[in-house]
Amino acid sequence: MGFFICYILCNFSYWFNFKLVLIFLMKKIITLLILVFSSLILFGNDINRTMGRDTDPKSISDISRFKIFTKKAIWEALSLPGMRFMANMIFSDNIISYLDIDDKIVAFTIDDGFCGKNNPNGDMTDEVVELFKKYNSKATFFTSGSHCDYTSYESIKKLLDDGHEIANHGMYDFPYNKHSESEFKIDFDSTHNQLKKYTDNIPKWYRAPHAKTSKIIDEFLDKEGYLHIMCDGFANDTSIPDPEWISSFILRKINNGSIILIHMPEKGFREWNFKAMELTLKGLKEQGYEVVTFSELYNSI
């Protein structure tokens, strides 16, 4: 009898460890596949630190229907295990992609505002602020420091007065994961100083451009008391110019405590995202969600 119990326990511990190793390896393989797929097929190779806006489509007509269909199919396939599951796979534990809450609240985040340097007449800040007002919703604008030149001071002040917030998204829309700590600090501080022109109330949230982080970035943010915020409601909107699909994808995938991301629309550049925002806000209201800034979501826990 003793031998039998011992045999069971030994085998149990063997299989238990074996399973853990297997799960660990599978996680690593899936993560690697996702990263290779993402960088090569969806975003393009950015070894030369090309800005996202240089390689992304500017309007719907820049990309063939077949390519849009393929990108949508890949994104749907990648998200099959669930956006939260995928976020947990890709990002380390210190990155927040959603909050575990019971209430019907989601945070809306908008990246790359306000208007790119190569699009001086493209600013849509006022339109976006009006849109959010119409749906009684708030957003956190993860702002690129270099994208503030073609938006009026008054527009950004109005945005803040309306209850939205601006947060650090680096000076430029390219990955910083190869930067040294001193290089990253210069960029981080420059962005912070740019944002401080509009308000002293800058939340301690950071979002790495292209979702590419590094040990150096994570340790720097930790030291500065910042939290690194990603998302679990993102439809690869910079690459897939289809507002109906973007909103339906987000509305299908989000849950209580989700963090939604749609990139800032500009006239003639990613303009489809304005419609995507409207359809998403409309759908969220129909589903009974309160749409708030990340600070409000965070403080609701």
Binding residues (CB under 5 A) for Zn ion: these are 111-112, 173, 209
Q: Which is nearer to Zn ion, 111 or 165 (CB)?
A: 111
| Residue 234 beta carbon to Zn ion: minimum distance, rounded to whole angstroms | 11
Q: Which is nearer to Zn ion, 174 or 289 (CB)?
A: 174
Map residue 288 onto helix, strand or coil: coil
| Residue 112 beta carbon to Zn ion: minimum distance, rounded to whole angstroms | 4
Tokens 């074996």 correspond to 18
Residue 129, CA atoms < 13 Å, CB-side half-sphere = 20
| Radius of gyration for the alpha carbons in the chain, expressed in angstroms and rounded | 21
| Residue 187 beta carbon to Zn ion: minimum distance, rounded to whole angstroms | 13
Please state the separation of Cα 125 from the chain's center in Å.
19
| Residue 19 beta carbon to Zn ion: minimum distance, rounded to whole angstroms | 38
DSSP assigned state of 41: I
Question: H or E element: which one contains 139?
Answer: strand 139-143
| Residue 117 beta carbon to Zn ion: minimum distance, rounded to whole angstroms | 14
Q: Which is nearer to Zn ion, 111 or 271 (CB)?
A: 111
Beta carbons within 8 Å of 76's beta carbon, 6+ residues apart: 249
| Residue 128 beta carbon to Zn ion: minimum distance, rounded to whole angstroms | 16
Q: Which is nearer to Zn ion, 142 or 289 (CB)?
A: 142
Q: Which is nearer to Zn ion, 113 or 257 (CB)?
A: 113
Tokens 């930790």 correspond to 222
Taking the CB of residue 123, how many other CB atoms lie within 10 A of it? Answer: 22
Cβ proximity of 108 and 164 under 8 Å? no
Q: Which is nearer to Zn ion, 238 or 293 (CB)?
A: 238
Between helix 65-78 and helix 2-37 the angle, nearest 10°, is 160
